[in-house]
Every structure is written in structure tokens, then in C-alpha cells.
Structure 1
């Protein structure tokens, strides 16, 4: 298949959730390809340490913006900050997000609201704010601009005990696929990355402890993402791992009640 190498060299990429896990992985991949970075997350010390690491390894200039994206005015504040620094973003990676495990009836209402705000609202607002710049960058310099939204294999079916998380990722997947179609003429590379369990802090935060032999590595997710971005026609979704791809397709084709029965088994 024909490939067109994604080359963000000389552009700036913004990565949310950049203090750990996949966010750190994406920051390294983008810096290695020559992009400068805007690193966004709550933990300033981790962002600053990452910025130093990226500079030492790749000569990358990183702008550190410590920010809680669940705050009501977080995205407008972020955009104002970018404008004041005269930063033009060519690639956006929406990696920030979290999940919770447990029955919805027993869940903390504020925590669920935070989950929806981060996984859905902040992602949507930031994408809307930056999409014109991404499209402009893609039009002016083909193969330099991308929108990567982190979804999940949970997006393909309802997941009892993680009901809000799975629903939020179903939104991310559907939203991203629609944007892929809407922007297809611009050359912007748009994709939703759908891994299963990844060996990051996510499981600890969610309280979901899966056997380690079922975990993907951050490196595996990066390889799958970059392979998709390097294609001439970047696919609207990337399911990481053959087993996950089979399970996701099975969930789409199977009766909904059967899917719920399987998804609802004790973890």
C-alpha cells in the first residue's frame, strides 16, 4: 500500500495528558519526528521533566502548560495562553482521559462528571478550537498535520462496571470518525486510536487490575498510531492488537445482549 510519511518537522504539536503513559509516548514520537511540543497536564513537575528529556534527546522546544482540563474555563484559558505565546498548532493529540470501575449506582457523582468533562467535553472543545489551524496546516503543508483522539476498544460495546467510561469512548470514536469524513478533502490526518489495556497508570486510577499478559505496551500503541499516520489515506480508527481487533469486530456483529453478557463478566 502506498505510504506518505507523516512529517511534522518544523511544526508544533499539542499533547494533552502529557504527564504520563500514552501522552508521554506521543510526545516522544512527535519530538523524534521533529515537532516542537506543547505539553498539557495537571502535574507541572512531570511536564517539566519531560520537556528536559525531549530537549536532550531530540533538540525539541517544549512549552509546558500545567492545566486541569476538567476546570470550567480550562480550554478558553489554554487557547488564550497559546495566542499570547504566538503558538500555532499543527497536530493535536487528545490523550488525556481516565476511567472508573464499579457499579454506576454506587459511583461518586462528581467523579463521573469529571470523567465526562475530561473524556468528552474538553476533547470536543479543544478539537473545535484548534481544528481550523489543523486544517490550514494540512492544506499548506501536506502530511505535516494530524488529529489523534484516544478512544478505546471499550468504544465498541457497552461495558458494565465501566459504563460511563465506555460511553465516553464510544462518543470519541463516533466523533472522530465523523471529523475524518468532514475533513477528508483537506489532507488532515484524522484517526481515533483504540487500544485495549495498556501498561500505564490508567488501570490503577480506574481500579481495574487486569493480568499483565493482556496489557499492551506504550511502544506498541505508538507503532500502530504512527503506521496509520504514515499511510497515504489514514484510517478513521486504529484498533491496536490483532486480538483486540477480532473482539471489537465481534462486538459489532454480535447481538447486543450477548455482548453485554460477555462484557459484564467479573474482571
Structure 2
């Protein structure tokens, strides 16, 4: 018997998750023996319900939402027997893309076939887990600025935040410490990838593999505004790693520091100001994926 829980994040995708929740639940009931339904109306509520479902011993926790909901599901399922599945209904859906699930039908097919994998996770010194990418620098500053803006709504907020951060662009001292040694450099941004993409499909760490026990790091060193603007389109293809200003490396553990005032974001969620340490935990998450 398969006991599953569906955790709905109704605000995801501007209400899309709420609109398709009934259809998703009906589809899941065809593939499991028991389905519990939980609706989280806030991040705190969603986190609590995810923990409750895992404590109840469900075999599978299915999150209907975006990367924020998936991130909360990861916190509950990490290092437990409960497998995590995601039906994407947000704006980015980077973790669902890694799982290969675009719709509830994909999740249902995997449940019926018993498809399971073990994914690595990142564990931050704050105690937070992350499944995709932890970043700091330019891109996290864009998030910080956009989150503080009350106007405009939607994607234009991030467009304006990008323009504002480009105007204020300054390289800052960054210290990257891994099991291979310590590097001190002036940098614009750093990304630690357990999986390749963040920000809705941007392959910032294009070769990252969540099953190899290693992080892929991408560091953009000191670069002019003009050069960064020219580099940004290549992020969509992963071609940025060929730029002379970009450094890449692989490591099992990373400590990010430096007198820079940077804030770390992981899975699109604000974590804390640097310094931060992260460790790769091989196979820490069971996922429903083929």
C-alpha cells in the first residue's frame, strides 16, 4: 500500500495551485491507496504541515507549488524514508524540472512504476537544506532589492531590481574555502550548485549532478557592467562558464566568507548573510523520479 500526502501551496503561480488542486488530487488517487490533503496558507503553515505528513509516516509527500513549496518539502523529507514529489505550479519550478515532472500525469506515472531516486542535498551551517543552488552576490542582491520593493508587481519588479543593481555594481572580496584549499578574490557573484539551474531554468552551474556527491561552483570574478550585461544572455545556455572572468570548481564542502555584506539565497529563499558553510550530503533525499 502507498500512503501519500498532497501539500497544496494555494498562492503559488498567482493562484494556479489552488485552481488545479482538485484535478491533481483526483489524479494522485488513481496511483496511491491513501491520500491525505493538506493546504498551507503561509510558509510557516506549509512547513508545519510538511513535517506533520512525514511524522505521520507517509511514503510520499507530493508538493503542489513552486520552488518555495518544494524547498519546504525538502526540509521535512531530508534524511527520512519519505520520498518527495513535486507537481509544478509556481513561476520557476527548477526542482520539478530536475525531477522531470511537468504535470501531475508525470508524477502519477512514476508512482505507478515505483520510480525512485536518491538525490544529494546541500546542508547549510544555519541548519537549512537546499536541493538546487545556493547563491550570493549580484543575483542575491537582486532578490533582496526586489523583495523590498512594493511596486511594481510581477516580473517588472525584478527587471527594475536588476537595473538598480547593475548601476550599483561593485566587485567585493570573496573567500572560498573548500577541501582543496582557500581562494581569495574580488568577485561579482558565486553559485554553489547541487543541480544546474536557478531562476526559472538558468543553468548557472551547467554540469551540476545531484547524484555525484559533489557541488559545482561558479564564481564570476571582477567584471565591468558592460561585460556583465554581455555575459547575462550566455547564462541561458551555460556558455558563461567559458568567459575569462568565470571560475569553476567542484567540492564536497564550501565555506563562503569575505568582507562583502553578501546574503546567501538557496532554492530562491533567503538564508543568511555570509559567512556560510555548506556540505554536500550524498543521497540525503528520496525523490519520485524516473
Fold conserved between structures, TM > 0.5: no
Please state which structure has a larger fraction of its residues in strand.
2
- Larger Cα-atom Rg: 2
Using structure 1 for the length normalisation, give the TM-score. 0.33
Using structure 2 for the length normalisation, give the TM-score. 0.31
